Structure formats: C-alpha cells, structure tokens
C-alpha cells in the first residue's frame, strides 16, 4: 500500500522503523513520500537514508501517482482538515488519532510475538534440558526409574532397558507393577516391599537390599543368590507435584563378600576365645586394639578396658617397660621375634614366652604389632625343680660313695684313739691332744652320717601316724639337752587328729633338724613355735617358726641346696637338703617364709591319711 507520511517527527521515525523491520503484521506499507517543513526533522533524515522521497510541500506529495494512504502525524487539527480537503478521491486518511490506536495494536501484536518467540526458546531449552537429563541418566551404571504420584513410569534410563529387556516406548506412562510383571521382565514386583511406598510414607530417602528387584535382571539357578540395593528418593516440583526416583544396582558380590567377612570375623573371634595363648594387638602408638579372653583373664583386665590404652596405662611401670622395650625391638628389626619376659605382677613372678610379629596392610606396610604369649611360669619352675632334683641325685650318689669310703677309716681312727686314751695319764698334754682327735673324729663321723642320710634313696617305711606324736617325740629329745635350756617351746595343734602316712623316724629327723636350725638362728635364746593346720585339700601342715635373724632373699633361693650353709664353718650344708629330700620322698613339700631380723617359718605340707584307724596313733618303736 503506497503511503505518504505527513509530519516527520519521532512518531514518523517510529513508523518507518516498523516498516523497515517488517514488524507491521497488520499493514503492508510502501513509503512513497515524507512531508515536513523541517528538512532536519528525524523522519526526514531517516527517509533520505532509506532513499525515500521527501517533500516540504504537502500539496505536491498528495499528487503522487497511485497514492493509497495518507498518515497524518503532525498532531495539528488544521493540518488534518487541510489533508481531508486536498486528498484525492479513493485515498484513505489515517489521522494522528487513528495512528495512535494503530501503534498500540502493533505494540500488542509485537508483544505477543515476543512472548511466542520466548516460549519457543523456552521449549527448546526444556527439550535440550530433557535431552541432557536423559543422557545423564543413561550414563549412570545403576538402573533408574522415575514414577509419578500414581506409580506410572515417567522415565527410565538405558541401564534399565538393558537389565529388564524393555524399551522406553513400551513402558513410559504405564503402571510400574504391570510393567514389572511383563513376561520379558522376568521378575515380579512385591508391592509390600516396594521402596516407593516406604519413601512416600516416611517422607525421606529409603534404601533396602532385596533378593529380587523390579529394576534388576532375573536370577537363574546357575547364578545362585542375587542381591540388589534399591534406593527411592522423593522429589517435588514447584507446583507440588510428587515424583519418586528409584535406582537399583546389583550388590551380590558386596553382600557375599560382607557375609564371608562376617563369617571370617566370627571364626577369628572363636579362635581367639578358645586358644590358651595370650593374644594382643597394638598400633604403632602403643595403644591396644585387641586382647583375647585368655589375656583378659591372665591380666585380670576386661577386654574392652584394653582398647585405646597403652602399656603404662594398664600395668605397673616395671612391667610396662618390659613390654614396651620388646615392642620397640620388633619394630626396629621388622622381624619375627621371641622374648622370655619375666616380671612381677600382683606380688607374683611370671614368665611369658612371647612371640611378636608386625601386621601389614594392603600396601604391605607395617601398621600394628601382634603378640602371642604362653604362660610358662609353671613349666620353668618344674624345669628348675627337675634340674635341682637331678643335682641332688648326683650329689647324693657322690656323697654316699664318699661317706662309705670315709666311714671305715674314721672307725679305725676312733677305735685307736679311745684305746690310746686308756693308756695315757688324765690331764696330760697327750690326753688333751687325743681328746681333740676324738672330738674331731666324732664330728667327721656325724658329717658322714649326714651324707649317708642325704644320699639314702630307699623308700620310707611308711605307716599311719599323727603329727602330734611326731612333735611330742621330737620335743622329748631336745627339751632336756643343755643347748636348749634357754629355749621355750609353744605348741599350737589344730583341733582333731592330724594323720599322715610316713616313716616316723625320718619325719622325726626332719623336725629335729628344723628345731636345731631355729635354735641356732636365735643364738640359743627365744621361743620356737610348732603349729599344725587342719586338713585342706587333702593336705596336712606342720610349721616350725622362730624369731631369729631370718634369711635374706638371695639365701632363700639356695637354702635347700646341698653343701650350701649360712652358718659358715659351723654348718655342712646338708641338713636342709636332707630335710627336703625326705619330705619330697613322702610326696610332700617344704617352703620357707622369712624376713631378715624378724624370723623364719618353715612350712611342711604332707598328704593327709584317713582310714578306720585314723583316730589310733601308731607310736614309734623304742
């Protein structure tokens, strides 16, 4: 439509912008002239730039051939009236009032076009986002299914298609239970165990492990057990619409591995609970990580109390130092080590034979110390006793041989000395010398007798006898001797008759030896106490107690060794060795408790004996 615009202000320029931009959807205008008295008006300048004709004379413009429309944009009613008066017939006129409405309609149309364009862009963005979302879902290793609030399938990923054999176009928009029951899915759907229902009820993420999953492949007999971890998560859009995202992954290997790990842990615990060795594990900071029941019982510490604590937090400093020193040794060497650990705990000496080894992690780097210890305290004691017994036997055999060889010459010396005394004058120097020879010969003969007693390995002549009878007979022998004039005796007998089965002469020799030693310990002045104890565990006890000088700890360890004496030249070291020998042949035990400067207590324990004649004391043969 050929058009002339009269009035080249900003409104004119706006119309021409619409024409140039082809944004006038309701009109198709062809500008054939622009009229304005001001050649520099915005519309005049723009028209010249577009090579459109410009006029300063309105009449000339209205004479343009083929003119179909005149648009008046001056806003002046006089110009409007003149246009109507001069416009040729059949040429339409749009004054500035109609032009205003036109612009408004055009702005509305343009706005709608803009919205349409924006919507198109948004839809394209949405489709792109959905495409990218699908790509993301397809890249996941887990099977994914998105359900709406009616349990209809909104979306699935490629992994879901692979494990179920179903395709998106077959299942999207369908009920998930019906889809799960489709023949090619191969699996059922337990609605009661469905995590979707659980997440909608609880309102929070839910994860379960199932033997079958509607998002997993069916398990065959060849597969054995199959397990799936199914997770359901609730999502809500801004309109409040609820959807549930369900993911599934096969965790058969993880479940079976966990089961095997738990079984291995149970077996490990059972082994720790049943072995008698003391098993402990510590980290490189010295903190305990584990202690088995045997270690707990030995140290009298609860297994949980070990955890996180060090040697010095659990044990006395001397004991902790032993353990820590050996831990440091295995760390420094990196090798399997074995130590014999000797320490005192709860007032008792223990010996542990402990093996240590470093535990490695998956990188073969040491991370902890494992100790396996055996309590060999009793074994070491028995070994010592065996060595002592063998030594006694060897010494006894040697002493017996020596005693027999010396006995005959001593008898000859004694006989000739006594005969010579009969031939010399009393009080002479010769008589005094012979008395010295006689006295020393008698002393040597006593030593020989002690050697014979010590070496005698024959079985005792055992009979049932009361301990009271042994004590009374021993006291009758010593109480009237001059060496015991300043010694008093205190006898403390347990109620009832304490009976054992033994050789009365040998047991009397034992008590006589202990009483003499007690007198010597008190330098011939003091009180000796003899006490019996009632039967306990099939044992009867006699104690010989003095308040003399006592025996040091070093001497106590050797007091029963042959030829070891604390009396110097006054003793031969055979008395207590013979005592121990006799007691052990009777199946008993002798122990010593002594404190220097306070006294000693020799305790004899013998098997008790009871029969129909238990109340009848068999006496000694006179």
533-592, pLDDT tens digit by residue?
Answer: 888 888 999 999 999 999 888 888 778 776 666 665 455 556 787 788 888 888 899 999
Q: Hey, what are 83's tokens?
A: 């246009």
Q: Identify the CA nearest to 604 among candidates 560, 542, 539.
A: 542
Alpha-carbon distance of 10 to 75, in angstroms, equals 12
Q: Please report which confidence band the pLDDT of residue 450 belongs to, taking 50, 70 and 90 as the band edges.
A: low
Asked if residue 238 has pLDDT above 60, the reply is yes
For residue 108, what are the CA distances in angstroms to 22, 99, 112, 257?
A: 15, 14, 6, 70
Alpha-carbon distance of 244 to 150, in angstroms, equals 10
Place of tokens 């730039």: 49
pLDDT of the residue at 400 = 62
Alpha-carbon distance of 210 to 229, in angstroms, equals 6
pLDDT of the residue at 22 = 77
Q: Is 141-256 a domain of CATH 3.30.450.20?
A: yes
**Strand ranges across the sheet with 278-283:** 288-291, 278-283, 366-375, 348-360, 337-345
Asked if residue 489 has pLDDT above 90, the reply is yes
pLDDT tens track for 297-314: 999 999 899 999 999 999
Q: Range(s) for CATH 1.10.287 in the chain?
A: 381-455
Mean pLDDT throughout 483-489? 89
Q: Please report which confidence band the pLDDT of residue 216 belongs to, taking 50, 70 and 90 as the band edges.
A: low
- CB-based contact 471:530 (threshold 8 Å): yes
Alpha-carbon distance of 452 to 436, in angstroms, equals 24
- CB-based contact 366:360 (threshold 8 Å): yes
Q: Range(s) for CATH 3.40.50.720 in the chain?
A: 2-110
pLDDT of the residue at 612 = 38
pLDDT tens track for 259-282: 888 888 888 888 888 888 899 999
pLDDT of the residue at 368 = 94
pLDDT of the residue at 183 = 37
Q: Please report which confidence band the pLDDT of residue 603 belongs to, taking 50, 70 and 90 as the band edges.
A: very high
- CB-based contact 282:179 (threshold 8 Å): no
Residue 136 class from Cβ within 10 Å (0-12 exposed, 13-18 middle, 19+ buried)? exposed
**For the chain, what is the mean pLDDT?**
82
Asked if residue 252 has pLDDT above 90, the reply is no
Alpha-carbon distance of 172 to 156, in angstroms, equals 8
pLDDT tens track for 93-132: 888 777 776 666 667 767 777 888 899 999 999 889 888 9
pLDDT of the residue at 222 = 56
CATH of domain 463-607: 3.30.565.10
Mean pLDDT throughout 30-43? 91
pLDDT of the residue at 354 = 94
pLDDT of the residue at 416 = 82
Asked if residue 618 has pLDDT above 50, the reply is no
pLDDT of the residue at 613 = 45
Q: Is 2-110 a domain of CATH 2.40.110.10?
A: no
The larger pLDDT score, comparing residue 105 to residue 415, is at: 415
Strands 153-156, 206-210: pairing kind:
unpaired
Place of tokens 């577009």: 50
The larger pLDDT score, comparing residue 219 to residue 140, is at: 140
- pTM for the model stands at 0.46
Could you tell me the CATH superfamily of domain 275-369? Answer: PAS domain (3.30.450.20)
The larger pLDDT score, comparing residue 512 to residue 24, is at: 512
The larger pLDDT score, comparing residue 287 to residue 202, is at: 287
355: Cα within 13 Å, side-chain hemisphere: 6
Q: Identify the CA nearest to 172 among candidates 134, 142, 136.
A: 134
Q: Range(s) for CATH 3.30.450.20 in the chain?
A: 141-256, 275-369
Residue 600 class from Cβ within 10 Å (0-12 exposed, 13-18 middle, 19+ buried)? buried
Q: Hey, what are 397's tokens?
A: 């055999």
Q: Which of 108-112, 183-187, 602-606 has the lowest mean pLDDT?
A: 183-187
Alpha-carbon distance of 555 to 609, in angstroms, equals 34
- CB-based contact 183:169 (threshold 8 Å): no
pLDDT of the residue at 615 = 42
Asked if residue 616 has pLDDT above 60, the reply is no
Asked if residue 393 has pLDDT above 70, the reply is no
Mean pLDDT throughout 392-417? 71
Q: Range(s) for CATH 3.30.565.10 in the chain?
A: 463-607
User: Across the chain, how many H-helices and E-strands are there?
Assistant: 20, 22
Instruction: Report the C-alpha dihedral over residues 63, 67, 68, 74, rounded to 10 degrees.
Output: -60
For residue 392, what are the CA distances in angstroms to 65, 398, 400, 569, 575?
A: 155, 10, 12, 22, 13
CATH class as words, domain 381-455: mainly alpha
Asked if residue 204 has pLDDT above 90, the reply is no
Contacts of the segment 371-374: beta carbons below 8 A, 24+ positions apart: 371/278, 371/279, 371/280, 371/281, 371/282, 372/277, 372/278, 372/279, 373/277, 373/278, 373/279, 373/280, 373/295, 373/341, 374/276, 374/277, 374/278
pLDDT of the residue at 614 = 40
Place of tokens 């991370």: 367
Q: What is the DSSP string of 64-103?
A: -TT--EEEE-S--HHHHHHHHHHSPTT-EEE-HHHHHHHH
Radius of gyration of the chain (CA): 60
Q: 27: helix, coil or strand?
A: coil
Alpha-carbon distance of 176 to 164, in angstroms, equals 12
Measured at the CA of 393, the angle between CA 388 and CA 399, to 5 degrees, comes to 120
């Amino acid at each position: 439509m050929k058009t002339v615009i009269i009035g080249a202000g900003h409104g004119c320029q706006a119309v021409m912008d619409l024409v140039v931009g082809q944004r006038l959807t309701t009109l198709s205008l062809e500008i054939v002239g622009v009229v304005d008295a001001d050649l520099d008006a915005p519309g005049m300048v723009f028209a010249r730039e577009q090579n459109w004709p410009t006029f300063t004379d309105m009449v000339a413009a209205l004479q343009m051939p083929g003119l179909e429309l005149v648009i008046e944009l001056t806003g002046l009613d006089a110009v409007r009236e003149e246009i109507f008066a001069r416009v040729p017939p059949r040429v339409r006129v749009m004054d500035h009032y109609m032009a205003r409405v036109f612009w408004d309609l055009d702005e509305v149309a343009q706005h709608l076009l803009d919205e349409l364009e924006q919507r198109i862009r948004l839809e394209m963005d949405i489709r792109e986002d959905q495409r990218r979302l699908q790509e993301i879902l397809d890249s996941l290793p887990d099977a994914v299914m998105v359900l709406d609030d009616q349990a209809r399938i909104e979306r699935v990923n490629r992994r879901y298609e692979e494990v179920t054999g179903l395709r998106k176009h077959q299942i999207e928009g369908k009920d998930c239970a019906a889809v799960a029951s489709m023949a090619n899915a191969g699996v059922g759907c337990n609605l009661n165990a469905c995590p979707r229902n659980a997440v909608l009820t609880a309102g929070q993420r839910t994860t379960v492990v199932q033997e079958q999953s509607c998002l997993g492949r069916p398990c065959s007999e060849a597969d054995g057990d199959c397990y799936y971890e199914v997770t359901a998560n609730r999502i809500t859009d801004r309109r409040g619409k609820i959807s549930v995202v369900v993911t599934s992954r096969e965790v058969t290997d993880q479940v079976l591995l966990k089961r095997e790990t738990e079984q291995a842990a149970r077996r490990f615990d059972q082994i720790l609970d049943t072995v008698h060795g003391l098993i402990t594990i510590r980290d490189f900071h010295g903190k305990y990580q584990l202690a088995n029941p045997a270690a707990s019982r030995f140290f009298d510490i609860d297994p949980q109390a070990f955890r996180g604590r060090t040697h010095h937090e659990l044990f006395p400093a001397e004991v902790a130092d032993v353990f820590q020193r050996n831990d440091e040794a295995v760390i420094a060497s990196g090798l399997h080590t074995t130590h014999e650990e000797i320490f005192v705990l709860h007032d008792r000496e223990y010996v542990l034979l402990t093996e240590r080894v470093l535990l490695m992690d998956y990188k073969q780097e040491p991370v902890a110390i494992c100790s396996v210890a055996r309590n060999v305290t009793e074994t070491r004691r028995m070994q010592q006793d065996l060595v002592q017994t063998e030594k006694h036997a060897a010494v006894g055999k040697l002493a017996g041989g020596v005693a027999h060889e010396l006995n005959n010459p001593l008898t000859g010396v004694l006989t000739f000395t006594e005969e010579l005394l009969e031939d010399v004058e009393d009080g002479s120097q010769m008589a005094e010398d012979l008395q010295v020879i006689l006295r020393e010969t008698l002393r040597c003969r006593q030593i020989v007798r002690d050697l014979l007693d010590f070496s005698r390995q024959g079985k005792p002549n055992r009979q049932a006898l009361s301990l009271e009878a042994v004590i009374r007979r021993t006291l009758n022998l010593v109480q009237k001797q001059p060496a015991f004039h300043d010694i008093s005796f205190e006898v403390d007998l347990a109620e009832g008759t304490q009976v054992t089965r033994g050789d009365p002469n040998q047991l009397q020799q034992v008590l006589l030896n202990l009483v003499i030693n007690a007198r010597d310990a008190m330098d011939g002045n003091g009180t000796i106490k003899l006490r019996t104890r009632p039967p306990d565990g099939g044992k009867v006890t006699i104690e010989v107690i003095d308040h003399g000088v006592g025996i040091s700890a070093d001497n106590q360890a050797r007091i029963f060794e042959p030829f070891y004496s604390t009396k110097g030249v006054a003793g031969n070291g055979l008395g207590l060795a013979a005592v121990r020998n006799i007691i052990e042949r009777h199946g008993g035990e002798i122990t010593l408790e002594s404190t220097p400067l306070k006294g000693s207590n020799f305790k004899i324990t013998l098997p008790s004996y009871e029969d129909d004649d238990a109340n009848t004391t068999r006496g000694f043969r006179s």
